[in-house]
Structure 1
Amino acid sequence: MSFLMTVKVKTLTNVNIQIVWTSVRDTNYLGPDTFCDYIDMASRLLPDIVATCTDDALSGTKFSSSDNFNISDPLSRTQFQLQAMRMGKVWSLISQRRLREVSVAILDDGIDFRDPDLASSRGIFTTSRGHVITGYWDVVHDTGRPFITGNHGSDVARVMAARANNSFGVAGVASNLRLMSINVFGNSTTFYFSDLMEGLELAIDIGIEVISLSLGMKLDSWPEETRLGLQRKFLLKKALDRAGEKDIIVVSAAGNYGMNDPDIFPCAYRGYNSICVGALEKPDFISPYSNYGPQVHLAAFGTDIPVGFNGDGSIRSVTGTSFATPPFEIKPLLMRYSTPIHWPSRIIHRHGGALDVYHTIQGAIAEAAIYKVISRRDS
């Protein structure tokens, strides 16, 4: 194991993972199977060490994806999902209350904060080592300099947090989000497992409250690598468990394969603070392309969602479970006020349903008032 003396090793303290970089060009190169066999042997010989080892495979892809609003955004009248979600009433309801900021990390291919709809939602965060990050970090190239080649992350951000009533573009559903863009794709349409782990590590380290994962991977995709696939699943669950221990809500997309697949992660992760979201085509009807099954907690509108203009001036729309993921709130509340989905052959979680934002907000306000009354009586 002399190669360990010269190889690059990075320790992710929050998710308890080490990344070891090797290259076939190295004189002492070891393949992942040989290296993992060595780690397994070491953990057996040293009882105080518990270790899990896997390779760093290319792991997954992006999941592309009649109220009076009284807002000036030119495309708001085409955002049918805002009407279906009764966002005019929702905004009116919450305007009577003071909202705190919620920090959201979007692990994707980057967010273009030069967009006037997104500039004001760019957050400033500080790592545990005191490094200040102004809303963007690329874990692939290890830089805060924007390296954005796709629109996916920016489109997800617009659906969440595009500034409303600014006479530009579209309106997002929430005005109180402080966004952190963590680029795990670099300039690619696929990501490496280690980059996802680094993205989760950073999100936990800077104290994010919500992690948005509009991406997915099938961890048992390679029959010849079943053992390593299972190890990846274990390590991902471990990292997401760590996020849950920090009270971070993890929101993931169900996938766009129109099937019940319980092995697509992170959707299939069943942590208490995790929410997996499918896409609706109608208020009570799951889109044909959306994945479903008991691992899917909620469904929200994700079909033909306007996000801006093309170069020729035409409206640019996106479709996919990526754009159905709700940006905040907690799973029990969202599920309690969800509405039934009428498609017997496409079941989702038995306590889940179609996202009902208006009744969820109403319920949260009512439950908070009841809690205050009970607290006063007990004091």
Structure 2
Amino acid sequence: MLKHYTARTARAAIAMALGGAALLTGCDQIDTRIERAREIADASVEQINGETVIDPTYRNLESASPEDRALAGTVVTAEFAIDDEDRPMFAIGSIIAKPLAIPDAESVDIVEDAEQMEAELDYFDSPEGEAMMDAEEAPAAAPPAPAPLTTQEPGSVFLEVQPAQVMPKITLDPRDAEESREEIAQASRKFDQVVIQDDTKRLQMRSLSKQDLEAMAPEDRAETRKLARRAPIEREVVRKQLDANTVMLDTMSKYGVGGEVALSRQGQMVIQIGADGANPTQFTGRNGPADFLARTEAAECPEGADAASVGDDLAVATACVVRDLRASGQFEYVEQDYIFQNQFARKPKDTPYGTPGETKTGSTGSTGSPTGQPVSQEPDDPLWALQWHFRDKGTSEGRTAGGAGFESFWNRQGVRGSDGIVVAVVDTGLQMSHPDIAASPNIMQGYDMVSDPRMGNDGDGRDIDANDPGDMCDPNKPNAADSFHGTHVAGTIGAAATNNGSGVAGGAWDVRIVPVRALGKCGGRLSDINDAIRWAAGLIPAEVNEGPQVWTEVWNENPADIINLSIGLLGACPASLQDAIDAVTEEGVIVVSAAGNARMSTSLYAPAGCRNVVTVAASDARGQIAPYSNFGPEVMVLAPGGDLTRDDNGDGKPDGVLSTKAATNCYDPVTGEGVENCFYAYEQGTSMAAPHVSAALALLKSRDPAASRDDIISTLRAALDPRESLQCAGLCTQYPGAAPIEGSPDMCARPCGVGLLNMANVPLKATDGGGR
């Protein structure tokens, strides 16, 4: 614990801080960074020697309980060389594919002609239809099943309306190919007889005109749009997937593997292969991650490969099946199930930070907005004073050069969020027992989309529990620890209860957060992330096992307006991920992505390099690009991501982003006493930058709920602070081929977006009458 530090430990802290700075000298000016690290380390020595002075103007800090104010006392500085841990991996035995010529959401006609539409709408006016609608809307715990709606016209898309149905899984076993072919045929016959529409209300809703929607009450319009997103099971989509199973069976037979194929409503198929034809998630490996994860470059399919040459190497068999399915010409895409990681900018290099030294900035409130509006009213969360990243931009007291201007927006616009706006956080889940989250009204029902129990770390696969049990991959590695990454990200957006006299504030006080757990032990599967994105947007259901062979569908009843992806893969955007992003974008959802922390082009990272995403690079407390941040033309905005090796705002603390996260080795910032466990920590990374933009977009959507996706993004873009070339610069030696900056021949520009996030620049709505 920190209170047991000695002078020897203090000297070690200085050495480690200087060592961490030395790692970064290629990304920034050497002398400046080393001097700043020395100042931070000196502040630690002052604390250790009992010289800490706590500024009494820190509002509510002394009156808060230690639990509500204690911080993590160890920060993890970054190393930026790409090593083996960063190189792409995939889940052994897992493949994602989509057959050719599956119609997208825009090209599928829900009802084939006007006469059929009229006939179906007449049903809702009939006694049977009205009875069904009344039954659906009744508050009874178990309403009667709806009467089936049957249409007999040839080629009808919807033949029968039934309760929710789970998409099938088909077992392919090369040891009994005939039985496998019969299983495919049986599934085909079933879907010839019954093609399922999930909700008769959606059929009625899709006939409504824009004028009809505008005439609805807001709550009815929201419900209608929610139902509109839900993807039906289309006959042609299922047919293409069933036909593809024959190709898959032949390919698997070639390499002596069988497996299970899961079908989906939007055509994407997940193939799980295994030497004995079983689902690989049922395997129990003894050697840790090596049993179920492999490096892509180490699993190439040799020329002339067959079952004998592949043998028991399931990783190579996976690569061979992918290669042959691609060569068949039957698929829009086929790809390995890549593993994504969170985007904390960290490697295992711990630096004891200690309680900060003399506090220099205080928390006396802002000096008023730049437009002369009344003095800001700050949230009463005791650690608000340390959240420089939400502060107004400036150099006067209470401001920070790299602040994002949330403070002015909250007060000048009179908008702190809305319970009608939803942000989904696709990440590691959420620590539901966190004291600043457990009682938060902002948390909605989420879902655990991690399908592989070995990665789930919670004893099972997918379920409705989005709690984060930890994601530590290999406990034998030095400094291995659970990241609780999703909790930190969600806290910045608004998962933490703001203005509750405890802990930290969030960027959007009153929005709704839907946690979707897609990353677990050792990362997250691409197939799980794809499903998480679609489920978060309300397009597809998830499944819940209610007993032997009994599965039901669970829809997201709070479909997202914004989806935050603080995740990354070193590689170009996978086709299946782009497919998922495009699907939700068509429904008006804004997808926000972290740029990545490898200080390379975002075109080499996903989802940062995907189309239809708002890509966010990280800035420090000066408003300059952080040394770890990726960059490139795909970046739209710079937002606070922090730099733990600096203290540019002069508060004696590292310039990381402070948010919710359980931690150990903590300290009380008032007494300087060590605390064993705490719930708040500084972190750095583009993972921290992205949620600032998600929170900003949520505030803009709260201010103008009827605005379209493009309008909200345009408003944000127009409010960015123009940046100077040096704000996105680095040493030319580190960026070969980059253009030197005029007047600074050693520094080269890195594309890092249109400008810096600054919510204080958002103009008042014309209908506001000049302010509040």
Choose 198-207 or 73-82, whichever is displaced more. Answer: 198-207
Mapping of residues 205-220 of structure 1, within 5 Å: 205=539, 206=556, 207-219=559-571
Aligned mates of 1:212, 1:291 — CA distance in 2: 17
Counterpart check, 1:54 vs 2:374: no
CA gap of 1:184–1:97, structure 2 versus 1, over 3 A, is closer
Q: Is the 8 A contact 1:61 1:215 kept in 2?
A: yes
Structure-2 residue corresponding to 1:114: 433
Within 5 Å, which residues of 2 pair with 1:305-344? 305-308=657-660, 310-311=663-664, 312-314=666-668, 316-325=681-690, 326-327=693-694, 328=697, 329=700, 330-342=712-724, 343=726, 344=729
Q: Shift of residue 122 of structure 1?
A: 4.6
| 2:513 pairs with 1:172 | no
Aligned position for 1:377: none
SS in 2 for 1:56: strand
CA deviation digits over 1:315-369, x for unaligned, max 9? 621111111111125322211111122225344366x110111212x25x24x67
Partner SS for 1:197: helix
User: Residue 129 of structure 1 corresponds to which residue in structure 2?
Assistant: none
Q: Is the 8 A contact 2:617 2:752 kept in 1?
A: no
Is 2:269 the partner of 1:18?
Answer: yes
Superposition deviation, residue 36 in structure 1:
3.4
Residue from 245, 252, 276 that aligns with 2:593: 252
Structure 1: give runs of 5+ residues left out of the alignment: 45-49, 125-133, 221-231, 371-379
Query: In the superposition, relative to structure 1, how do residues 256 and 98 fare at CA in structure 2: closer, same or farther (>3 Å)?
Result: closer
1:100-139 counterparts in 2 under 5 A? 101-119=420-438, 120-124=440-444, 134-139=445-450
For residues 415 and 324 of structure 2, the distance between their equivalents in structure 1, rounded to whole angstroms, comes to 61
1: CA distance, partners of 2:380 / 2:768: 33
Listed one character per residue, the Cα deviations across residues 128-158 of structure 1 (whole Å, up to 9, x for unaligned) are xxxxxx2342433211233421410000011
Q: Is the 1:12–1:198 Cα contact (8 Å) retained in structure 2?
A: no
- Read off the aligned partner of 1:246 and give its amino acid letter: E
Match of 2:518 in 1: 184
Deviation at 1:54, TM superposition (A): 1.6
SS at match of 2:336: coil
Partner of 1:203: 536
Shift of 1:199: 1.3
1:286 matches 2:625:
yes
Give the counterpart letter for 1:203 in structure 2.
Answer: A
Q: CA deviation at 1:237?
A: 1.3
**Alignment-mate amino acid for residue 681 of structure 2:** R
Please say if 1:86 is aligned against 2:405. Answer: yes
Q: Over residues 22-70 of structure 1, what are the superposed CA-to-partner deviations in whole Å (9 max), with x where a residue is unaligned?
A: 12344999823443355346545xxxxx43212223x321101562543
Matching residue's letter, 1:157: A
User: Cα 1:260–1:42, aligned 2, differ >3 Å: closer, same or farther?
Assistant: closer
Q: What is the Cα deviation at residue 91 of structure 1?
A: 1.4
Identity over aligned residues, as a percent?
23
Instruction: Name whichever of 341-350 and 205-214 sits farther off.
Output: 341-350
2:734 matched residue in structure 1: none
- Please tell me whether the aligned partners of residues 121 and 177 of structure 1 are also in contact (alpha carbons under 8 angstroms): no
Q: Distance in 1 between matches of 2:536 and 2:595?
A: 21
- Distance in structure 2 (CA, Å) of the matches to 1:116 and 1:90: 27
State the alpha-carbon separation in 2 of the partners of residues 298 and 307 from structure 1: 21
Distance 1:39 1:211 in 2: 32
Tell me what 1:130 maps to.
none
| C-alpha contact 2:450 2:517 (8 A) present in aligned 1 | yes
TM-score calculated relative to the size of structure 2: 0.41
Q: For the Cα contact (< 8 Å) 1:338–1:354, is it kept in 2?
A: yes
Is contact 2:518–2:524 with CA below 8 Å preserved after alignment?
Answer: yes
* Residues 568, 608 of structure 2: 8 Å contact kept: yes
Trace 1:361-372 onto structure 2 (pairs within 5 A).
362=763, 365-366=765-766
Distance 1:247 1:355 in 2: 22
Instruction: Measure, in 2, the Cα distance between the counterparts of 1:86 and 1:147.
Output: 31
Structure 1 residues 38 and 261 mapped into 2: Cα distance closer, same or farther (>3 Å)?
closer
Decide which of 367, 385, 399 is 1:77's aligned counterpart.
385
Offset at residue 211 of structure 1 (A)? 0.9
Deviation at 1:123, TM superposition (A): 4.3
Gaps of at least 5 residues in structure 2 are 1-171, 181-257, 279-306, 346-364, 367-375, 392-402, 452-460, 471-482, 540-555, 643-655, 669-679, 701-711, 730-747
Tell me, yes or no, if the aligned pair for 2:425 and 2:513 is still in contact at 8 Å. yes
In the comparison of the two structures, how many residue pairs are matched? 336
Q: Once the two structures are superposed, what CA deviation does each residue of 1:65-97 show, in whole Å capped at 9, x if it has no partner?
A: 562543221100111112223333221123369
Cα contact 2:625–2:638 (8 A) shared by 1: yes
Structure 1: how far apart are the matches of 2:526 and 2:344? 19
CA contact (8 A) 2:595 2:630 kept: yes
Q: Which amino acid is the alignment partner of residue 340 of structure 1?
A: P
AA aligned opposite 2:463: T
- For the residues of structure 2 that align with 1:96 and 1:55, how far apart are their CA atoms? 44
Partner residue of 1:148? Answer: 469
| Inter-CA distance 33–321: structure 2 relative to 1 (3 Å threshold) | closer
RMSD of aligned alpha carbons: 2.8
CA–CA distance in structure 1, aligned partners of residues 415 and 426 of structure 2:
32
User: How far apart are 1:294 and its partner, in Å?
Assistant: 0.9
Q: Quick check: 2:721–2:756 contact (8 Å CA) kept in 1?
A: yes
State the secondary structure of the residue aligned to 1:252.
Answer: strand
Tell me, yes or no, if structure 1 residue 355 matches structure 2 residue 737.
Answer: no
Report the counterpart of residue 295 of structure 1 in structure 2: 634
Q: What amino acid sits opposite 2:380 in the alignment?
A: S
Q: Secondary structure at the residue paired with 2:714?
A: helix
Letter in 2 for 1:23: G
239 and 353 in structure 1: CA distance in 2 versus 1, 3 angstrom threshold = same
SS at structure 2 position matched to 1:75: helix
- The answer on 1:32 being equivalent to 2:318 is yes
Q: TM-score, normalised by structure 1?
A: 0.79
SS of the counterpart of 2:274?
coil
Return the alpha-carbon distance in structure 2 between the equivalents of residues 98 and 158 of structure 1.
14
AA aligned opposite 2:421: V
For the residue of structure 2 that corresponds to 1:13, the secondary structure is: coil
Deviations 1:228-262 (A, max 9, x none): xxxx7222211111111111100000111223341
Q: Report SS of the residue matched to 2:516.
A: strand
